[in-house]
Structure 1
Amino acid sequence: MSRPSLSALIVARNEEARLPDCLASVAFADEVVVVLDRTTDGSAALARAVGAVVLEGAWALEGERRNAGIAACTGDWVLEVDADERVSPDLALAVRRVIGESGFAWHQVMVDNYVGDRLLRHGWAGSFGTTSVPRLFRRGAKRWRAQRVHPGLDWVGRQGPRIEQGALVHLVDRDVSDMLRRLDKYSSAKAADLLESGDIGSLAGNLRRFVSRAFKSYVSRKGYREGAWGVLLAFCTAAFPLLSYLKARLEPERHGGRR
């Protein structure tokens, strides 16, 4: 019996500075597919130079462009990697082992999150960051929902054990300012999703979520172990849904809605 084939899927937009290292980290895959969304830099040439299949286009929703990438993959299994992520050598070995043995449809992999050169192991929670993600799956098992930011997932088949060996190295933010810019960007996209759904929630509900998410990040997920970084991470985690709601309520015309 031949070994299962693996496609590595990278979705990016104007990431020519980070893309080469990401591409190098997935060179162990049988196929590399790169989806470039409204990209104007040299990313396409970089991807083609290493033999990747390149899909260029413009997608309004994150879920749609990720589904387009999955559809372009031909491997038995797909490993999704973002341009600001790197597959560690240990994870590469584990992925090869798992797809050769697994009777399941999908698996979570571990994530090491970096802000600049600092590895933050604790405090990631909610939609602002996580320490494991469902990125390895059989082709046909995963579909993203039509949303702009952090879209939901629909699965076919059973979840297998999480892969504990190695990790995706996630260069999540460059510094404090970059983290705050990400909060602004994500909350604007989420505000548009809320307005499109017709239910933006309530101020009281989102204030409660602010408190519960801050507690989850700083206490339950042990953000306090990261010192002042943990405070910042708890604030951003808690502020994301509240800021999204406030943008949808106070500035609907700027985020796709009407007054």
Structure 2
Amino acid sequence: MRLSALVVARNEEARLPACLATLGFVDEIVVVLDRSTDASAEISRAAGAVVLEGAWALEGERRNAGIAACSGDWIIEIDADERVPPELGAEIRQLIETSAEAFHRVRIDNYVGDRLILHGWGGSFGTTLKPILFRKGAKHWRAQRVHPGLDWTGSEGARLTTHGIRHEVDRDISDMLRRLDRYSSAKAADLLDSGDIGSLGNNLRRFVSRTFKCLIGRKGYKEGGWGVLIALCAGLFPLLSHLKARLEPERHRH
């Protein structure tokens, strides 16, 4: 079975080298660069990657373009801030030789700086499992800017949880809050495009339910103050998105 790695990035010259260096277990690397102006293209080509450069308004569209450019029977989608340990690479190679399923979820180990945070992720602000290993033709991203939905052809197989991808999700608290600002602005644009931004009351309820779920249901309390921070960000994401679309539509409509 031929395996492709797909990396979608924008101006990631600082993190791409370390990411690409962990992908030696694949047969092909495809890097999609969205409006990049730094040395990402040169770095990718030096690593032997196929580079697709362009401009896409929607995350779903650029990821679908990358999938189409892959020639492998199987594809693993990796972000520039992720690192695949050798043990997981070997496990993936072994799995695709025998799997009869369409896709598999892979464990994600999320780091803020050098701190591994195991609990509390959720609410569109982080995850510990992602469906990133799939047969070509099985996965299609929807036309949205942030966390686009997925359409699948085929069934899900066993989850890979023995080894996890190292995800350097945020550098520090300020970086986390900047990510919340970016995500909520992109989501506000999606809401405006849909013609339905929801109600303030419903999004206040979502703030409470998501915060509670991340802190209690997903055991964020085990992480102390970090768990509280992540739970608040997860709860604020839909509320901020709604408020930006409602109060500043001219700034977020595309």
Same fold judged by TM-score > 0.5?
Answer: yes
Q: Distance in 2 between matches of 1:243 and 1:46?
A: 36
Instruction: For residue 187 of structure 1, give the secondary structure of its aligned residue in structure 2.
Output: helix
Structure 1 equivalent of residue 192 of structure 2: 195
Instruction: Find runs of 4+ consecutive structure 1 residues off by over 2 angstroms.
Output: none
Question: Matches of residues 144-159 of structure 1 in structure 2 within 5 Å?
Answer: 144-159=141-156
- Number of positions where the alignment pairs a residue of Structure 1 with one of Structure 2: 254
Structure 1 equivalent of residue 45 of structure 2: 48
Q: Distance in 1 between matches of 2:162 and 2:33?
A: 30
Q: Does 1:209 align with 2:241?
A: no
Question: Matches of residues 157-172 of structure 1 in structure 2 within 5 Å?
Answer: 157-172=154-169
Structure 1 equivalent of residue 77 of structure 2: 80
CA RMSD of aligned residues (A): 0.7
1:41-60: CA deviation from partner (whole Å, max 9, x where unpaired): 00100110111000000000
Q: Distance in 2 between matches of 1:239 and 1:73?
A: 36
Instruction: For residue 217 of structure 1, give the secondary structure of its aligned residue in structure 2.
Output: helix
Structure 2 equivalent of residue 240 of structure 1: 237
Question: Matches of residues 169-188 of structure 1 in structure 2 within 5 Å?
Answer: 169-188=166-185
Q: Does 1:228 align with 2:225?
A: yes
Instruction: For residue 108 of structure 1, give the secondary structure of its aligned residue in structure 2.
Output: strand
Deviation at residue 165 of structure 1 after TM alignment: 2.3
Q: TM-score, normalised by structure 1?
A: 0.97
Structure 2 equivalent of residue 26 of structure 1: 23
Instruction: For residue 11 of structure 2, give the secondary structure of its aligned residue in structure 1.
Output: coil
Cα contact 1:90–1:167 (8 A) shared by 2 = no
Structure 1 equivalent of residue 215 of structure 2: 218
Q: Distance in 2 between matches of 1:157 and 1:228?
A: 40
- For structure 1, which segment, 87-96 or 29-38, has the greater mean C-alpha deviation from structure 2 after superposition? 87-96
Deviation at residue 28 of structure 1 after TM alignment: 1.1
Q: Distance in 1 between matches of 2:24 and 2:58?
A: 28
1:128 aligned residue (125, 139, 160): 125
Q: Distance in 2 between matches of 1:80 and 1:33?
A: 10
1:67-111: CA deviation from partner (whole Å, max 9, x where unpaired): 000000000000000000011112101110110110000000000
Instruction: For residue 101 of structure 1, give the secondary structure of its aligned residue in structure 2.
Output: coil
The amino acid across from 2:70 in the alignment is: C
Cα contact 1:145–1:152 (8 A) shared by 2 = yes
Q: Distance in 1 between matches of 2:214 and 2:85?
A: 26
Q: Percent identity between the aligned chains?
A: 70
Q: Distance in 1 between matches of 2:209 and 2:215?
A: 10
Cα contact 1:89–1:166 (8 A) shared by 2 = no
Q: TM-score, normalised by structure 2?
A: 0.99
Q: Distance in 2 between matches of 1:27 and 1:41?
A: 24
Structure 2 equivalent of residue 59 of structure 1: 56
Structure 2 equivalent of residue 14 of structure 1: 11
Q: Distance in 1 between matches of 2:45 and 2:105?
A: 29
